[in-house]
Chain A
Amino acid sequence: MERIDSPKKLQQNIEACTKAFEDKIAGKGGRRAIVVCGGTGCLANGSNDLIAELKKLIEERGLSEKVSVNHVGCFGFCSQGPFVKIFPEDTLYRMVKKDDIKRIVEEDLIGGKVVEDLLYVDPTTHEKVARQDDINFYKRQRRIALHGCSLINPDYLEESLGYDGFKALKKVLTEMTPQQVIDEVLASGLRGRGGAGFPTGRKWQFAANQVSEQKYIVCNGDEGDPGAFMDRSILEGNPFEVIEGMMIAGYAFGAKDGYFYIRAEYPVAVERVQRAIKDMEAVGLLGDNILGTGFSFRAHLRLGAGAFVCGEETALLNSIEGKRGMPRPRPPFPAIKGLWGKPTCVNNVETLAIVPYIIRVGAEEFAKIGTEKSKGTKVFALGGKINNVGLVEVPMGTTLRELIYDIGGGIPGGKKFKAIQTGGPSGGCLTAKDLDTPIDYDNLVAKGSMMGSGGAIVMDEDNCMVDVAKFYMEFICDESCGKCTPCRVGTKRLLELLTTITNGTATEKTLEDLKSLAETIKLGSLCALGQTAANPILSTMNNFPEEYEAHVKDKKCPSHVCKKLMSYVIDPAKCKKCSLCARNCPVNCIHGVPGKEPFVIDQSKCIKCGTCIIKCPFHAIEKR
């Protein structure tokens, strides 16, 4: 591509690429376009092999001129992946395996017939659904942050330009003053998508008010919440959109340099962002005097190195500066004194990805979506005990019921919904009584949880809430940076108290201690990691006091998860005396006489590994 050095040239490129992209999707000239999901989940499930196989067979059948094959970003519906989608028919094949590719080529591409058994089947109506938009999972979604993901090839600037890319950049550089951009974002009501929900426009305004030759915009891609992967998917699916958002932010408050801070565990995202930066530099969309407007901007990439606390903005800045990722006291806030002491704004990936949309359609249009105080959409990573695991983007104000049942397809195996954890290790759980609560920043906080980055893990009746709280506390203990005492020592003590509860040595005083220590850590910690560390405990104690009491008073784990408080027992009436359990027991603690006497587990020797219950074909073993 030749250099894009004026608004006019950008416009010409946008028009040409848009036409090419639309023609491709519309199948002009009898052409077909195939896209294959290249998101993390599908890549792990072999989608690269699918692409290689498609290309091979298409070549063999002499269709290369007529059919294009591209990898695209995440489709979101991860539990049904890998996906292969064919335009112009818009046919969506799911759970495609390498062996299916031959049939797709022969039957669909050549024969013109849809391969029926690769279509999605609606679990309630049992009907086959050929088009993506007709699938219930997608019906209530609205893709703004995920714009272009699952549609454009993230490796090509042309694809981005063909699908709304850089229209917003052109608009701000040619039609708007920096203050107008800030005002527009303020008016849109956009709040930070990384956790606490601070208004983005206000952050930018603070930085804009500082007089400094050098300012920085930092994109926080250190997605640490275990169970959230939207930032990764956005960076992998449409890196250009995030860079564009970053440039608009830079223009708005006067930053000439932007830093991406991305987890080293996200190699695909790192590679795609790197490539996007390089391609943009090559055509002059990054560098000095962009589009001849006098605006200069450079994007840089820094890698995180596996520290959850670096998601906290001041710790992140220390990490970019090559130091231990420990938080700094605030004030001074980064907008006043941030990276290398200069005014800095740290924005989350999803936040920056939404900015171009706001500029394109206008603040008013954006503010129509969502609730009174939470505008726009939010991407959630639905995971855990839910049928439709995946990434969903819904308008703020969608209820948990819609999220879990209409979009998520409910709980597998006919089990009962117990709780949904939002906000990761900093958040809390919501229960069945909250199902009709519209999801927005303020409602979640009022319910003792938080939006966080959007991880939403569903738990069913088989999950023990004390165990879940302990899981998060182990995580926090691991990840506490050690700088301040309440977090460093306090979380360790919390974990010890929780451990006494799960192993049956706790007393009623333990619960009081737990609560009082949790409150102390909340008040006394330096950064958000410590201040929110006790949330999973407090929220499960509030919502499930009976589970804590059962552990402490009755020494029983009602969900049979805590090993010290449960046992495996063979029901003599159901036992067929086959000896399968005894033969598979790793510690030889099951005794009986094959064919004669029912088998019995010696509780004093049992290590509760659960092998017997998996092996028993007659369901004669139960947890008590």
Chain B
Amino acid sequence: MKIRKEVIKGVREICASHKGEPSPLMMILSDIQNKYGYIPLEVQEVVSEETGIPVAEIYGVVTFYAFFSVTPKGKYVIGVCLGTACYVKNSQSVIDKFCQLLKIAPGQTTEDGLFTIEAVRCIGACALAPAVNINGKVYPMVSPDKVEGIINEYRALEASN
């Protein structure tokens, strides 16, 4: 995969902005993840050039932490809370329903690049259990029969764009 020149430039800038900090790798990766949504091998190589840290080590860190991703995520990231409070209120059946309707497993992205399903651990909205977070918008007290409506909401949004 070829990454665009501006991305390489952006990554170099992020690395430069952390120069002089002790052990800045996590902060650099965090910024890249936030800005570009994923950290492919090619980008890790750029980080290696800039910081002098071997790619193997960077790859080890990227793959260790759940927050970092080496593949792009969907336009809408559906985070179904599987924290304990949500789980005891049956959030497993909610994520199952999303998976069934979108025909992907947790952690995967639909072929059209629209949706990614993620099992997330406690988003701190226990009073709204089971909670689903889609790109920052929280859906409270989601039951399996509401899932289709939620997906359709985003499909409609896409169709209108």
Binding site for B on A (CB under 8 A): 40-41, 44-45, 78-79, 81, 224-229, 232-233, 264-266, 302-308, 319-325, 340, 381, 383-385, 389-390, 421, 424, 455, 457, 459, 463, 468, 471-472, 475, 481, 609-611, 614
Chain B residues 113-143 with CB under 8 Å of chain A are: 120-129, 131, 138, 140, 143
Cα(A611)–Cα(B126), bound, Å: 25
- B64 pairs with A78, CB closer than 8 A: no
B88 touches A385 (CB 8 A): yes
The 5 closest A-B CB pairs, nearest first, are A383-B85, A322-B25, A78-B127, A306-B66, A305-B65
Contacting residues, chain B, for A421 (C-beta < 8 A): 84
Cross-chain pairs A/B with CB under 8 angstroms, 16 sampled: A78-B128, A227-B84, A227-B122, A303-B30, A305-B67, A307-B64, A320-B26, A322-B23, A322-B24, A324-B60, A383-B85, A383-B126, A384-B89, A390-B126, A471-B84, A472-B84
Task: Decide: A325 near B64, CB < 8 A? Known: A78-B126, A302-B26, A308-B121.
Answer: yes
Which single member of A44, A455, A468 contacts B125 (CB below 8 Å)? A44
Contact in complex: B30, A264 (CB < 8 Å): yes
> Contact between A302 and B67 (Cβ–Cβ < 8 Å)?
no
Cβ A324 vs Cβ B88 within 8 A: no
- Complex Cα spacing A610 to B145, Å: 10
- B85, A457: Cβ atoms under 8 Å? yes
Least CB distance, A168 to chain B, in whole angstroms: 28
- Say whether B150 faces chain A, with CB atoms less than 8 Å apart: no
- Chain A residues with Cβ below 8 Å from B25 are 322
A227 touches B126 (CB 8 A): yes
User: In whole angstroms, how far apart are the Cα atoms of A265 and B67 in the complex?
Assistant: 8
User: Using Cβ atoms and an 8 Å threshold, which residues of chain A touch B128?
Assistant: 41, 44-45, 78
A226 B121 Cβ-Cβ under 8 A: yes
A298 CA to B33 CA in the complex, in Å? Answer: 27
Q: Is the CB of B121 within 8 A of A614?
A: no
Contacting pair A226 B122 (CB below 8 A):
yes
Is A455's CB under 8 angstroms from B84's CB? yes
Docked CA distance A319–B68 (Å) = 14
Q: Are B61 and A41 in contact (CB under 8 A)?
A: no
CA distance A325 to B124 in the complex (A): 23
Q: Is B29 an interface residue (CB 8 A)?
A: yes
Q: How far is the CB of A338 from chain B (nearest CB, A)?
A: 13
Partner of A325, one of B65, B93, B127, B144: B65
Chain A residues in 8 Å Cβ range of B93: 609-610
| Cα separation A288 to B10 with both chains bound (whole Å) | 34
- Chain A residue nearest in CB terms to B92: A471
Give min CB distance, A214 to chain B, whole Å. 11
Q: CB-CB < 8 A to B30: which residues of A?
A: 264, 303, 305
Given the known inter-chain contacts A81-B127, A321-B23, A389-B127, please indicate yes or no for A229 contacting B122, CB distance below 8 A: yes
B7 located at the interface, meaning its Cβ lies under 8 Å from any Cβ of chain A in the complex: no
Q: Chain A contacts of B20 at CB under 8 A?
A: none
* B160 vs chain A, min Cβ distance (A): 22
A220 to chain B, nearest CB (A): 15
Q: Which of B29, B89, B126 contacts A229 (CB 8 A)?
A: B126
A41 touches B126 (CB 8 A): yes
A320 to B126: give the CA distance in the assembly, Å. Answer: 29
- Chain B residues with CB under 8 A of A44: 123, 125, 128, 131, 138, 140
Give residues in B with beta carbon < 8 Å to A: 22-27, 29-30, 33, 53, 57, 60-61, 64-68, 82-85, 87-89, 93, 120-129, 131, 138, 140, 143-145
Residue of B nearest to A266 (CB): B124
Distance A430 CA – B7 CA, assembled complex (angstroms): 53
B124 partner, pick from A41, A307, A322, beta carbons under 8 A: A41
Bound-state CA distance A438–B39 (Å) is 49
- Docked complex Cα distance between A308 and B121 (Å): 10
Nearest-neighbour CB distance to chain A for B85, whole angstroms, equals 3
Across-interface contacts of B85 in A (CB, < 8 A) = 226-227, 381, 383-384, 389, 457
> Residues of B contacting A225 with CB < 8 Å?
84, 122
Distance (Å) between the CB of B37 and the closest chain A CB?
Answer: 14
| Residue of B87, B88, B138 with most chain A CB atoms under a 10 A cut-off | B88
Which residues on A sit within 8 Å (CB–CB) of B24? 322
Q: How far is the CA of A229 from the CA of B60 in the complex (A)?
A: 29
B83 neighbours in A (Cβ, 8 Å): 226-227
Contact between B124 and A306, CB atoms less than 8 A apart: no
Q: Could you tell me the distance in whole angstroms from the C-beta of A218 to the nearest C-beta in chain B?
A: 13
Contact of B29 with A305 in the complex, beta carbons under 8 Å: yes
Which residues on the A side are within 8 Å of B33 (C-beta)?
A: 305
B89 engages A324 (CB within 8 Å): no
Q: Which of A41, A475, A481 contacts B121 (CB under 8 A)? A: A475
Contact B127 A41, beta carbon cutoff 8 Å:
yes
Check A614 against B82 for contact (C-beta < 8 Å).
Answer: no
| B94 CB → nearest A CB, Å | 12
- Greatest chain B CB density within 10 A among A225, A265, A321 is at A265
Distance between B44 CB and nearest chain A CB, rounded to angstroms: 13
**Which chain A residues border B126 with CB–CB below 8 Å?**
41, 78, 227, 229, 381, 383-384, 389-390
Q: Give every chain A residue within 8 A of B145 (Cβ-Cβ).
A: 611, 614
Q: Is B87 in contact with A323, judged by CB distance below 8 angstroms?
A: no
Q: Which of B29, B66, B87 has the most CB of A within 10 A?
A: B87
Inter-chain contact B88/A463, CB cutoff 8 Å: yes
The complex places the Cα of A389 from the Cα of B19 at a distance, in Å, of 45
Name the distance in Å between B129's Cβ and chain A's nearest Cβ.
7
A302 to B121 CA separation, bound complex (whole angstroms): 20
Q: Is the CB of A229 within 8 A of B84?
A: no
Q: Distance (Å) between the CB of B51 and the closest chain A CB?
A: 9
- Decide if A324 touches B61 in the complex (CB within 8 Å): yes
Bound together, the chains give a CA A424 to CA B68 distance in angstroms of 24
In the complex, what distance in Å separates the CA atom of A26 from the CA atom of B26? 47
A481: chain B residues at CB < 8 Å are 64
